Amino acid sequence: MSKTKYDRQLRIWGEVGQAALEEASICLLNCGPTGSEALKNLVLGGVGSITIVDGSKVQLGDLGNNFMVDERSVGQSKAKSTCAFLQELNDSVNAKFIEESPDTLIMTNPSFFSQFTLVIATQLVEDSMVKLDRICREADVKVVFVRSYGLAGLVRVSVKEHTIIDSKPDHFLDDLRLNNPWPELKSFVENIDLNVSDHVAHKYIPYVVILVKMADEWTKSHNGNLPSTREEKKEFKDFVKSKMVSIDEDNYKEAIEAAFKVFAPRGISSEIQQICNDSCAEPSSSSSDFWVMVAALKEFVSNEGEGEAPLEGSIPDMTSSTEHYINLQKIYLAKADADVLVMEKRVKNILKRIGRDPSSISKPTIKSFCKNARKLKVCRYRMVEDEFSNPSVTEIQKCLADEDYSGAMGFYVLLRAVDRFTANYNKFPGQFDGGMDEDISRLKTTALSLLADLGCNGSVLPDDLINEMCRFGASELHVVAAFVGGIASQEVIKLVTKQFVPMLGTYIFNGIDHKSQLLTL
């Protein structure tokens, strides 16, 4: 791994994430502008290997919307030309191409896809999407479906189950346990006097100490309960404020600002509880490492954790004397290390119990799991076939009636309608000169028929939207392709690195209204 080459992105997903990218094998179906732009971002990011599947030749029209081909490429294999261009961008990526129609490959050689980590399927019609999704589910290969169509775009992730340890949420409460301190933290806090006469010493007592002490005093006079009502929370803050000796005490200001951390509910969140209660948390010999560690977490929470997950072990910056801060850091780190050791023991016991090698899950993996135990995520996606044949009728009707979502839902329905149109008339609406009025009428009839099949009798789409869809003529506009391809590559990185949370649902880009929306169908 070249740390200099990938320096900026290493700061986002770290060496573990970069290693996952460099080991990934990505297959791109159709290398028009949408697919090429998605793959370009992954090649620049240092993905291990790419395979481009496209049976078409470069035409003059491609020069107007695809920067991965040039005049010399006209008449040549599009897959070969794009592959050569992308290889130039990063020579450490292993790039291959196959001159074959993706639709044909899906039909005739389904086992071909099992060799990849992930497939980016661009510009596929509905029938091919359904078949590919089925093939990849069976082979346990992730799929990202991508489509740009005029000023509309679609991105849809499909994978049976995607588990994430390091979900990197934007906002998350520090794991300080101010409302549930363990013995060592309690002991440290008890040895610090808030009524110290030295003003300088008083100004540099960390807010963690202040709040743990104040919370303890509060519970003693409130039947063991922490503040819960708005009045009690205000009263608690005033209680903390009353201990200030002078107005320039930043540590007390920080304590008042952080008082909400005392009010936070104890124990694990409902989301983590749900993961612990999942049927997969009953491990077997075929369980993934993630679910084995979840099983260990479940045991830990019920026993040593006393309702809590393992401690993260880090503390934020705060106004404090150096001595107090270092001692606090050591206490938090020691507790986190002790929790990791307990978890490690439980993981080994579970592995032994299910007939697996007790050391098959490494200590760094268990440590990372413990550090992120409050942020675990499990994403499960419906099969495309299920969504297409049995979508949520109430959701479709709700979106069509909602001014904010009607455009996105309209495009979703029309992107499916144009595929039906193509199956019937062997061309996309508006694809060729002439007959535009007839295409508009036919697409409107097709869309209404589709809505009826979806259980939305009586629902209609705006004529303007149907007209625009025909005017697009199935064209890929580079600016839309680049944007939608960028969204797709972002989702690929989330899936490959198992960091951040991929989109759950069908993403629709509406270039007319400049909106990006997620539909849950």
Query: Confidence band (pLDDT; 50, 70, 90) for 6?
Result: confident
User: How far is Cα 399 from Cα 484, in angstroms, rounded to an integer?
Assistant: 22
**Token pair for 303:** 């026993």
pLDDT digits (tens, 9 = 90+) for 274-329: 999 999 999 999 999 999 999 999 999 999 999 999 999 999 999 999 999 999 99
| Cβ neighbour number for residue 10 with a 10 Å cutoff | 17
Residue 397 clears pLDDT 80, i.e. is over it: yes
What is the model's pLDDT at position 5?
80
Query: Confidence band (pLDDT; 50, 70, 90) for 7?
Result: confident
pLDDT digits (tens, 9 = 90+) for 424-472: 999 999 998 888 999 999 999 999 999 999 988 888 899 999 999 999 9
User: How far is Cα 376 from Cα 227, in angstroms, rounded to an integer?
Assistant: 28
Would the pTM count as exceeding 0.85? yes
Separation in Å, CA 171 to CA 164, 226, 375, 433: 17, 24, 11, 52
User: Mean pLDDT, to the nearest integer, of 191-203?
Assistant: 93
Which of 8-22, 38-52, 77-91 has the weakest average pLDDT? 8-22
Architecture of domain 1-168+477-519: 3-Layer(aba) Sandwich (3.40)
Q: Which residues pair with 145 in a beta bridge?
A: 121, 156
Half-sphere exposure of 511 (CA within 13 A, CB side): 19
Residue 107 contacts residue 131 (beta carbons within 8 Å)? yes
Residue 484 contacts residue 120 (beta carbons within 8 Å)? no
Element at 98 (helix H, strand E): strand 94-98
What is the model's pLDDT at position 2?
60
Q: For residue 305, what are the contacts with CB-CB under 8 A and spacing of at least 6? A: 339
What is the model's pLDDT at position 1?
53
Q: For residue 52, what are the contacts with CB-CB under 8 A and spacing of at least 6? A: 28, 31, 35, 39, 79, 82, 83, 86, 95, 96, 97, 98
The residues spanned by each domain of the chain are 1-168+477-519, 183-262, 270-316+337-379, 390-472
User: How far is Cα 411 from Cα 301, in angstroms, rounded to an integer?
Assistant: 46
N- to C-terminal Cα distance for the chain?
40
User: Mean pLDDT, to the nearest integer, of 66-93?
Assistant: 94
Query: Confidence band (pLDDT; 50, 70, 90) for 334?
Result: very high
Provide DSSP, 177-201: -TTS--HHHHHHHHTS-TT-S-HHH
CA proximity to 520, closest of 185, 157, 277, 133: 157
Q: Which residues pair with 156 in a beta bridge?
A: 145, 506
What is the model's pLDDT at position 136?
98
Q: What percent of the chain has pLDDT over 70?
A: 99
Residue 470 burial by CB count (10 A; 0-12/13-18/19+): exposed, middle or buried? buried
Query: Confidence band (pLDDT; 50, 70, 90) for 3?
Result: low
Overall residue count recorded for the chain in this entry: 521
Separation in Å, CA 229 to CA 254, 264, 506: 21, 12, 40
User: Mean pLDDT, to the nearest integer, of 235-251?
Assistant: 94
User: Mean pLDDT, to the nearest integer, of 226-251?
Assistant: 94
User: How far is Cα 245 from Cα 435, in angstroms, rounded to an integer?
Assistant: 83
pLDDT digits (tens, 9 = 90+) for 164-193: 999 999 888 899 999 999 999 999 999 999
Q: What percent of the chain has pLDDT over 90?
A: 93
Q: What are the b/e assignments for 407-441, b being 16+ CB within 10 Å?
A: bbbbbbbbbbbbbbbbeebeebbbbeeeeeeebbe
Residue with tokens 């169509």: 149
Element at 400 (helix H, strand E): helix 393-401
**Token pair for 182:** 């363990």
Residue 428 contacts residue 418 (beta carbons within 8 Å)? yes
Query: Confidence band (pLDDT; 50, 70, 90) for 10?
Result: confident
User: How far is Cα 132 from Cα 384, in angstroms, rounded to an integer?
Assistant: 9
pLDDT, mean over the chain: 95
| Cβ neighbour number for residue 107 with a 10 Å cutoff | 12
